[in-house]
Structure 1
């Protein structure tokens, strides 16, 4: 029996041109991906495995480096990254981050947090992960930097797209992988106010001098409603990264005004103990500041017509919700379902939503604890957190806690998609 006969039930019998295509072969499909952080290159890598014609547009003038360290944990993440062919390379570029400690105002240790608790099975800088996937796709996908989607018009034959800078084009599908403040989502599903759920905290990150002499280890210091974490992830003896978290009402500020964000942080962390003065001094000259609300994205649908949302754009959580792992799994599922459906977006998008929605929401639930973990609201809650993590990091409960942290990350059954 020939393969054509075996796979006759998998033939996608009509596209817009009326030409038949075998399932798995996406060479007829043109896909625009908005965003080149992690979700975008991950989808590009998965789509290219099936021959799709991929264009990635990114607002930044070049691939963004740096960023927080992100981790993967459990058999689902491992399966997806292995199928994508990047599991070994992630290990080669991992941070090798060790233990982290919760300390008091004098720097004395209070709780010792094992690396598995904070860094999963393997941890890599977000920028390194994006570059790894970009390097795997740049020769086969079209990357357009310094531009972004201006308008989207969904038609029966494709999506007509205009850009801020480049000429208008038509694509079969458009995927919004452009983050928590996604323009794609705003254009198709409405403004952020209806989808972004604020979780009562803000987070900031930037480089600081390694005054503590850390070597792939970290320290966390908390006061009621605010916290400073300092870690050395790459072994550079001169440099460390600072993470600042504070509890707050919703703030109004310009996301492009870095000076205003620095003033907010200087005000909120004035008088902080431990390394507070050194961190605020480094903030004055920091040129890599990240500042955002700790928030989640909740949408009723992940797809509309020929447009779909992926990663933070559709089910993001600023921190603590395994957002990178969910985005990579989502990219794998979306590309796999398109391959199974031979590019029929109606069938593929429905299957993608069905498989990913509950999984993503389960992971989002854990992100609600990120702000209160770093910055408990009262001294009493700080002491309660320390007691709980001291217990969970003890040898008898270490294995249990590892399973607990992997529960959300593994709560999805993946089909066997075509290689």
Structure 2
């Protein structure tokens, strides 16, 4: 059985890996001309995704490429003295199995695991999908596949082609995320420096294996902002307007907007769809059920979703009419919980009042100052995200005995 996967970020290679292990023949098409190897921004893998990565044999490389960030310094707007916190204790309190890694590093690791057994087509994109599985491309000639999987992120091309315009399903949470690459002039080593004020938080961190740093911007707006997700000039203008004057250090970071080699900006948006499948097409990860980047554990959820989708297709012997509903039944509770957790997590990360700013800094200091047991209990009482990431469980989907790498299920 031939399956086409759209997207070679994090989710696409994971679903391709497990589909191949279950005996399906997989092609991955990616709009970018090459695999991304610029580092990206930091994302979190929690216990379920770590367990799946261990089954893939990826865990040693993931742990070796972890950012290693273990200290946090918080400057409150208008306050003279910073608050310092032990991030290693906070991470341990949040999850008993967790790693922070740069997004593109993780994508590269998963890609390397699949490149010899999966057909990758870079620099191309899907333009049409017919009900019988014929796929049209921008550059390549048409090809026929039994199934198509959209793993192409929040602004999914597959979702647009099959389900309609993104505006039908996207629900902005009123917050925005920006990330840019800057020289690590401050020499940050395993430390996150944050400046926080009412409705806005900015931070900078450096990964131990990178020569540069990442500046992170989170802010809230009562009104929807007018910009297009491809209009970088407008996005940078929005970011400057939101953060100028927060702190002199932040102003210096903003000065780097016109020189940065890599920039990301988008609204923190949830996708809410009644179904992620239609005919021979299904969606996985942010393409189908983004709980909100930066606040909803979307990467871990995507890794779990990719594993479950491939496993349910194998259980059904490739029968998508049985597998797709089973996949959705398994993932729906996790997706719903992640959405709720994301809304809960956004509140302390982007405080809506001066009292919230104070609570963020003092709460981080208290959790890091307590012994591991009490700090874990306090964090679990105050964050739904931690409870969710520690309770998510999925079935084991062992490869079929007859499956062979790169083979095909009839």
TM-score (norm 1): 0.87
Aligned to 2:366: 391
How many angstroms apart in 2 are the aligned matches of 1:78 and 1:374?
Answer: 24
Q: Deviations over 1:269-327 (max 9, x none)?
A: 22221412211111121120100001111110021111111000111121211111111
Aligned to 2:62: 90
User: Taking structure 1 as reference, are residues 163 and 107 closer, same or farther at Cα in structure 2, changes over 3 Å only?
Assistant: farther
Aligned to 1:32: 4
How many angstroms apart in 2 are the aligned matches of 1:109 and 1:269?
Answer: 19
Q: Deviations over 1:100-150 (max 9, x none)?
A: 222235774225152353586222211011111111111111111111111
Judge conservation of contact 1:99–1:114 (CA < 8 Å) in 2: yes
Aligned to 1:48: 20
**Larger C-alpha radius of gyration, 1 or 2?**
1
User: Taking structure 1 as reference, are residues 417 and 354 closer, same or farther at Cα in structure 2, changes over 3 Å only?
Assistant: same
Query: Does residue 326 of structure 1 match 2:326?
Result: no
RMSD across aligned C-alpha pairs, in angstroms?
2.0
1:97-108, aligned counterparts within 5 Å? 97-105=69-77, 108=81
How many angstroms apart in 1 are the aligned matches of 2:144 and 2:173?
Answer: 38
Q: Which SS does the other structure have where 1:366 is aligned?
A: helix
Deviation at 1:245, TM superposition (A): 1.3
Judge conservation of contact 1:229–1:242 (CA < 8 Å) in 2: yes
Deviation at 1:370, TM superposition (A): 4.4
Deviation at 1:367, TM superposition (A): 1.6
Q: Which SS does the other structure have where 1:55 is aligned?
A: strand
Aligned to 1:172: 146
How many angstroms apart in 2 are the aligned matches of 1:401 and 1:149?
Answer: 48
1:75-224, aligned counterparts within 5 Å? 76-105=48-77, 108-115=81-88, 117=90, 121-155=98-132, 159-224=133-198
Query: Does residue 375 of structure 1 match 2:347?
Result: no
User: Taking structure 1 as reference, are residues 31 and 107 closer, same or farther at Cα in structure 2, changes over 3 Å only?
Assistant: farther
Aligned to 1:336: 311
How many angstroms apart in 1 are the aligned matches of 2:218 and 2:295?
Answer: 12
Higher RCO by CA contacts (8 Å cutoff, separation 6 or greater):
2
How many angstroms apart in 2 are the aligned matches of 1:224 and 1:338?
Answer: 47
1:251-400, aligned counterparts within 5 Å? 251-316=225-290, 317-396=292-371, 397-400=374-377
Q: Deviations over 1:165-193 (max 9, x none)?
A: 21111111000101011111112122111
How many angstroms apart in 1 are the aligned matches of 2:5 and 2:80?
Answer: 46
> For this pair of structures, how many residues does the alignment match?
386
Query: Does residue 245 of structure 1 match 2:218?
Result: yes
Query: Does residue 414 of structure 1 match 2:394?
Result: yes
How many angstroms apart in 2 are the aligned matches of 1:380 and 1:418?
Answer: 50
Judge conservation of contact 1:339–1:418 (CA < 8 Å) in 2: no
Judge conservation of contact 2:195–2:246 (CA < 8 Å) in 1: no
TM-score (norm 2): 0.89
Which sits farther off after the overlay, 58-67 or 77-86? Answer: 77-86
Judge conservation of contact 2:50–2:59 (CA < 8 Å) in 1: yes
User: Taking structure 1 as reference, are residues 304 and 410 closer, same or farther at Cα in structure 2, changes over 3 Å only?
Assistant: farther
Deviation at 1:90, TM superposition (A): 1.1
User: Taking structure 1 as reference, are residues 301 and 107 closer, same or farther at Cα in structure 2, changes over 3 Å only?
Assistant: farther
Judge conservation of contact 1:46–1:332 (CA < 8 Å) in 2: yes
Q: Deviations over 1:215-268 (max 9, x none)?
A: 0111111111222111112255x6211001121121121222212211221222
